[in-house]
């Protein structure tokens, strides 16, 4: 059974940093690209970033480019999202998701990030 | 990376069929068949309902079907049931090698 478990969310001040983690199990982690998707309170889903299975290619939404960095440790079956220069508009539930053919077939339960002073 | 356009809400009575549209551009929906649909109940994570325009993952009811014409994809729910009341999002791969989601549609079962 595929399982994804996000952690690392919390309250951070504007301009601050936070690193999210996503622990994966139940599939061959290194064989699949992984994504981060976020959802602001009461709003829709927003695609954030994707990283290839080997970790050698990554892409970002314009809204986070230059501030967020996606990475992975295949030896630990863990996906990361380093978030710097955080803004109020980054407040959201952040989901990690497994990709299959450029689509998200499994999702974690999400971790809430709140950017506020 | 503009969001794909979906109607804000769609409603139907139990047993009826409803269709949700998802309009993109030639840089996403119009070019790629990597179009998927997700169901999200309040406070829950999204669930994949349709992938590759029209494929149903194992375990998804055959009341859900997908299609695409030009820059617009569609999700049809037939035999509407109370449990189908949720938010639905489309998504597509893009020519920038990123993803994009739709604006979301709230489905109400009357």
Residue A8 has a pLDDT of 97
Residue-wise pLDDT tens digits, B17-54: 999 999 999 999 999 999 999 999 999 999 999 999 99
Q: Is the backbone of residue B75 left (phi > 0), alpha (psi -120 to 50) or beta?
A: beta
Average model confidence (pLDDT) across chain B: 97
CA A88 to CA B12: how far, in whole Å?
A: 37
CB atoms A103 and B97 under 8 Å? no
What's the mean pLDDT in A35-53?
A: 98
CA B64 to CA B54: how far, in whole Å?
A: 9
Average model confidence (pLDDT) across chain A: 97
Residue B21 has a pLDDT of 98
Residue B1 has a pLDDT of 78
3 state DSSP class of B84: helix
Residue B24 has a pLDDT of 97
Residue B78 has a pLDDT of 97
The residues, ordered by sequence, that sit 6+ positions from A53 with a Cβ below 8 Å of its Cβ are: A30, A31, A32, A33, A74
**Given CB atoms, is A109 within the 8 Å cutoff of chain B?**
yes
Q: Where are the alpha helices (DSSP H) in chain A?
A: none
Please tell me which of the candidates A47, A59, A110 has its beta carbon nearest to residue B45. A110
Q: Quote the radius of gyration of chain A (alpha carbons, Å).
A: 13
**Given CB atoms, is A22 within the 8 Å cutoff of chain B?**
no
């Amino acid at each position: 059974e595929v399982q994804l478990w996000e952690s690392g969310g919390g309250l951070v001040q504007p301009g601050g940093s936070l690193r999210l983690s996503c622990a994966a199990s139940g599939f061959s982690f290194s064989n699949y690209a992984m994504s981060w998707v976020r959802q602001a309170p009461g709003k829709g889903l927003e695609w954030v970033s994707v990283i290839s299975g080997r970790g050698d290619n990554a892409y970002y939404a314009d809204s986070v480019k230059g501030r967020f960095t996606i990475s992975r440790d295949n030896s630990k079956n863990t996906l990361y999202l380093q978030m710097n220069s955080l803004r109020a508009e980054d407040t959201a539930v952040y989901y990690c998701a497994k990709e299959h053919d450029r689509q998200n077939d499994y999702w974690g339960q999400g971790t809430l990030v709140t950017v506020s002073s | 990376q503009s969001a794909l356009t979906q109607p804000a809400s769609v409603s139907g009575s139990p047993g009826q069929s409803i269709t949700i549209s998802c309009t993109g551009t030639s840089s996403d929906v119009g070019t790629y068949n990597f179009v998927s649909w997700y169901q999200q109940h309040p406070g829950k994570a999204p669930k994949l309902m349709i992938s590759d325009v029209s494929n149903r993952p194992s375990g998804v009811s055959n009341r859900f079907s997908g299609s695409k014409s030009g820059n617009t994809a569609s999700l049809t729910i037939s035999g509407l049931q109370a449990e189908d009341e949720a938010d639905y999002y489309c998504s597509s791969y893009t020519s920038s090698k990123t993803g994009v989601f739709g604006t979301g549609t709230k489905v109400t079962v009357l």
